[in-house]
Structure 1
Amino acid sequence: MIVKVISKEIITPSIPTPKHLNLHNLSLLDDLNSPVLMPLIFFYSLNPSLNPQINTKFPLNTMLDRLKTSLATTLTKFYPLAGRINDRNYVVCNDEGIPYVQTRVNTHLIDVVNNAEVCDLDNLLPCKPNGPSKLPLAIQVNIFECGGIAIGLCINHKISDAFSVLMFVNNWSIIARCGETNCGSYLLHCFDVAKLFPLTNDVSNKYVFKNKKSVSKRFTFDEISIRSIKSKYMIGNEKVSFGLVLLAFIYTRIVATSQSINVLPYVVSQAVNLRSKINSTAQNNCFYFGNVFLDAIAPPSVANEVRAEMFLEMVEQMRKAMMKIDSNFISKIQNGTQDLAYVTDRLDRAQRRKIAMLAFSNYSGLPVYESDFGWGKPVWVTSATLPMTKIVIFIPSQTATHVDVYVNLNNEDMKTLESDHEFISFCTKNLCSKL
Structure 2
Amino acid sequence: MEVEITSKECIKPSSPTPPNLKTQKLSLLDQLMPAVYYPTILFYPMNQSTGCACSDDVEYSQRSQLLKQSLSETLTRFYPFAGKVKDHLSIDCNDEGAYYSEACVNCSLVDCLDQPDLSSFVKFVPLDSTSYRPTTGDHVAMIQVNRFACGGIAIGILVCHMIVDGNTLSVFLKDWAAMACKVDEATCPNFDAQTIFIQNEAFSSAKTAFSNPFVRSSTRRAVTRRIVFDASAIASLKAKATSLSVQNPSRVEVVSAPLGKCTMAAFKATSGMQRPAFISHAVNLRRRAVPPFSESSMGNFVWTVGALCSMDDDEEIDLPSMGRKLREAITKINGDFVKNLQGDDGFPNLSEIMNFKHIAFSNAASTCEMDHVAFTSWCNFGLYDIDFGWGKPMWISHSGTSDDKESWIPNVILLMDTKSGGGIEAWVWLDKKDMLMLAQDNELLAFASLDPSPLN
Q: Same fold (TM over 0.5)?
A: yes
| 2:447 paired with 1:432 | no
Name the counterpart of 1:405. Answer: 426
| 2:32 paired with 1:32 | yes
| 2:286 paired with 1:266 | no
| RMSD after superposition | 2.9
Deviations along 1:376-420, whole A, 9 cap, x unmatched? 221211111363321101111223142211001112211211122
Q: 1:315 to 1:233 in 2, by over 3 A?
A: closer
**TM-score w.r.t. structure 1 length?**
0.88
Q: Is the 8 Å Cα contact of residues 108 and 146 (structure 1) preserved in structure 2?
A: yes
Q: Is the 8 Å Cα contact of residues 40 and 153 (structure 1) preserved in structure 2?
A: yes
**2:388 is matched with which residue: 373, 380, 403?**
373
| 2:133 paired with 1:132 | yes
Deviations along 1:108-142, whole A, 9 cap, x unmatched? 22332331132122221111112421332211101
Name the counterpart of 2:11. Answer: 11
Matches of 1:56 and 1:395 in 2, distance apart? 36
| Aligned residue identity for 1:91 | I
Q: Is the 8 Å Cα contact of residues 242 and 248 (structure 2) preserved in structure 1?
A: no
Name the counterpart of 2:103. Answer: 103
Name the counterpart of 2:286. Answer: 275
Name the counterpart of 1:2. Answer: 2
Deviations along 1:225-281, whole A, 9 cap, x unmatched? 22333445656893211211110101110111211445542111111112233346x
| Aligned residue identity for 2:350 | D
Matches of 2:312 and 2:169 in 1, distance apart? 35
Name the counterpart of 1:331. Answer: 339
Matches of 1:101 and 1:164 in 2, distance apart? 22
Q: Is the 8 Å Cα contact of residues 179 and 186 (structure 2) preserved in structure 1?
A: no
Unaligned runs of 5+ residues in structure 1 are none
| Aligned residue identity for 1:173 | A
Matches of 2:196 and 2:17 in 1, distance apart? 23
Matches of 2:132 and 2:155 in 1, distance apart? 22
Q: 1:404 to 1:371 in 2, by over 3 A?
A: same
Deviations along 1:185-224, whole A, 9 cap, x unmatched? 4222110111111113633455286896211211111122
Matches of 2:302 and 2:412 in 1, distance apart? 16
| 2:435 paired with 1:420 | no
Name the counterpart of 1:252. Answer: 261
Matches of 2:84 and 2:315 in 1, distance apart? 48
Q: 1:11 to 1:211 in 2, by over 3 A?
A: farther
Matches of 1:12 and 1:345 in 2, distance apart? 45
**1:286 is matched with which residue: 284, 295, 313?**
295
**What secondary structure does 1:160 align onto?**
coil
Name the counterpart of 1:166. Answer: 170
Name the counterpart of 1:154. Answer: 158
Q: 1:379 to 1:345 in 2, by over 3 A?
A: farther
**What secondary structure does 1:295 align onto?**
strand
**TM-score w.r.t. structure 2 length?**
0.84
Q: 1:347 to 1:25 in 2, by over 3 A?
A: farther
Name the counterpart of 2:404. Answer: none
Matches of 1:306 and 1:41 in 2, distance apart? 43
Matches of 2:37 and 2:195 in 1, distance apart? 25
Deviates more, 1:211-220 or 1:393-402: 211-220
Name the counterpart of 1:321. Answer: 329
Unaligned runs of 5+ residues in structure 2 are 402-407
Matches of 2:95 and 2:312 in 1, distance apart? 49
| Aligned residue identity for 2:250 | S
| Aligned residue identity for 2:454 | C
Deviation at 1:163, TM superposition (A): 0.7
Name the counterpart of 1:225. Answer: 233
Identity rate of aligned residues, in percent? 28
Q: 1:198 to 1:24 in 2, by over 3 A?
A: same
Deviations along 1:44-74, whole A, 9 cap, x unmatched? 12324xx6x6777772202101211221222
| Aligned residue identity for 1:265 | P
Q: Is the 8 Å Cα contact of residues 39 and 385 (structure 1) preserved in structure 2?
A: no
Name the counterpart of 1:396. Answer: 417
Matches of 1:242 and 1:306 in 2, distance apart? 29
**What secondary structure does 1:158 align onto?**
coil
Instruction: Give the alignment of 1:41-120 within 5 angstroms.
Output: 41-48=41-48, 59-120=59-120
Name the counterpart of 1:355. Answer: 370
Matches of 2:278 and 2:232 in 1, distance apart? 29
Q: Is the 8 Å Cα contact of residues 23 and 91 (structure 1) preserved in structure 2?
A: yes
Matches of 2:33 and 2:312 in 1, distance apart? 27
Deviation at 1:8, TM superposition (A): 1.8
Deviations along 1:150-196, whole A, 9 cap, x unmatched? 10111111110011111111111112221xxxx54422211011111
Q: Is the 8 Å Cα contact of residues 379 and 415 (structure 2) preserved in structure 1?
A: yes
Q: Is the 8 Å Cα contact of residues 100 and 139 (structure 1) preserved in structure 2?
A: yes
Matches of 2:167 and 2:218 in 1, distance apart? 24
Matches of 2:351 and 2:381 in 1, distance apart? 25
